[in-house]
């Protein structure tokens, strides 16, 4: 299971980084957003699941670390989506590499710390908070991009998946991708930890009853 998740995560990264999203369609903001969401919301959690134990944080990590990781991801994501940084990433291969590497590192850090000890109440609580915070800021940024009255990145036409889009349409589509993928995935992760948090007392009661019956 873990090995398959690790292989799937790195396989997806290869498709994203060496495919048309960052190649032939690199001028398209919606293609960029598909790549971004693929890295942080799909590949990163798969890699986090598949990491060997020696690379995974355990229950001894600081309880607040998932929240710190969420703040780091917020800074990384919002910084790379300023018009100046977006233009630099489109124009320079080195900046694209830096952008994608920071997305991956921030994503893996958040997912590994959030799910480091999901059966311990304090860790489950801070992990859930971190993922729900990330879902909120992803929702906010996606909404701002989708509802912006003017294009922030591309003024002319771009092509993505063979479809020609205006700069405004391309940006709106990218914002919708962030809302549908990023916000939903992080919300789902947070809700899983909330369920674990609520389920721990029930498990303990069942274990106590089983011991009492022995």
Q: What is the pLDDT of residue 210?
A: 46
The C-alpha atoms of residue 102 and residue 112 are separated, in whole angstroms, by 15
Q: What is the pLDDT of residue 3?
A: 87
Confidence grade of residue 52 (pLDDT, cut at 50, 70, 90) = confident
Q: What is the pLDDT of residue 109?
A: 95
What residue segments make up the domains of the chain, in order of their start?
A: 2-51+63-203
Burial class (CB in 10 A: 0-12, 13-18, 19+), 109: buried
Q: Is 60 exceeded by the pLDDT of residue 204?
A: no
Instruction: Kindly state the tokens that stand for 139.
Output: 């929702």
Cα–Cα separations (whole angstroms), residue 163 to 24, 91, 170: 13, 22, 10
The answer to whether 182 touches 40, Cβ cutoff 8 Å, is: yes
Q: Which residues contact 207 (CB under 8 A, 6 or more apart)?
A: none
Element (H, E) at 160: strand 158-160
The answer to whether 65 touches 57, Cβ cutoff 8 Å, is: yes
Instruction: Kindly state the tokens that stand for 22.
Output: 């960052």
Q: What is the pLDDT of residue 208?
A: 54
Cα–Cα separations (whole angstroms), residue 46 to 9, 72, 103, 116: 5, 20, 14, 14
131-155 average pLDDT score: 91
Mean model confidence pLDDT for the chain = 87
Q: What is the pLDDT of residues 108-139, one digit of tens each?
A: 999 999 988 777 888 889 999 999 999 999 99
Q: Is 90 exceeded by the pLDDT of residue 51?
A: no
Confidence grade of residue 206 (pLDDT, cut at 50, 70, 90) = very low
198-212 average pLDDT score: 54
Q: What is the pLDDT of residues 3-31, one digit of tens each?
A: 899 999 999 999 999 999 998 888 899 99
Q: How far is Cα of residue 121 from the mean position of the Cα atoms in its chain? A: 23
170-185 average pLDDT score: 92
Whole-model pTM? 0.86
Q: Is 90 exceeded by the pLDDT of residue 147?
A: yes
Cα–Cα separations (whole angstroms), residue 11 to 22, 42, 47, 178: 15, 11, 10, 21
Residue 159's beta-bridge partner residues? 164
HSE, CB side, 13 Å, CA atoms: give it for residue 80: 21
DSSP per-residue letters across 125-142: HHHHHHHHHHHHHHHHHH
The answer to whether 78 touches 141, Cβ cutoff 8 Å, is: yes
């Amino acid at each position: 299971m873990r090995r398959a998740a690790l292989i799937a995560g790195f396989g997806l990264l290869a498709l994203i980084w060496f495919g048309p999203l960052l190649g032939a369609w690199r001028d398209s903001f919606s293609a960029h957003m598909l790549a971004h969401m693929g890295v942080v919301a799909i590949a990163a959690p798969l890699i986090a699941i598949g990491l060997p134990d020696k690379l995974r944080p355990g229950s001894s990590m600081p309880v607040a670390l998932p929240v710190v990781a969420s703040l780091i991801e917020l800074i990384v994501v919002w910084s790379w989506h300023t018009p100046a940084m977006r233009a630099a990433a489109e124009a320079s291969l080195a900046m694209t590499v830096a952008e994608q590497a920071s997305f991956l590192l921030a994503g893996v850090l958040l997912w590994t710390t959030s799910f480091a000890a999901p059966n311990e109440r304090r860790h489950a609580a801070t992990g859930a908070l971190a993922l729900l915070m990330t879902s909120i800021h992803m929702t906010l940024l996606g909404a701002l991009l989708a509802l912006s009255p003017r294009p922030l990145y591309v003024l002319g036409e771009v092509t993505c998946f063979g479809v020609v889009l205006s700069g405004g349409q391309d940006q709106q589509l990218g914002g919708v991708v962030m809302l549908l993928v990023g916000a939903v995935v992080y919300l789902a992760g947070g809700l899983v930890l909330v369920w674990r948090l609520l389920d721990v007392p029930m498990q303990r009661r069942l274990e106590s009853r089983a011991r009492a019956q022995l």
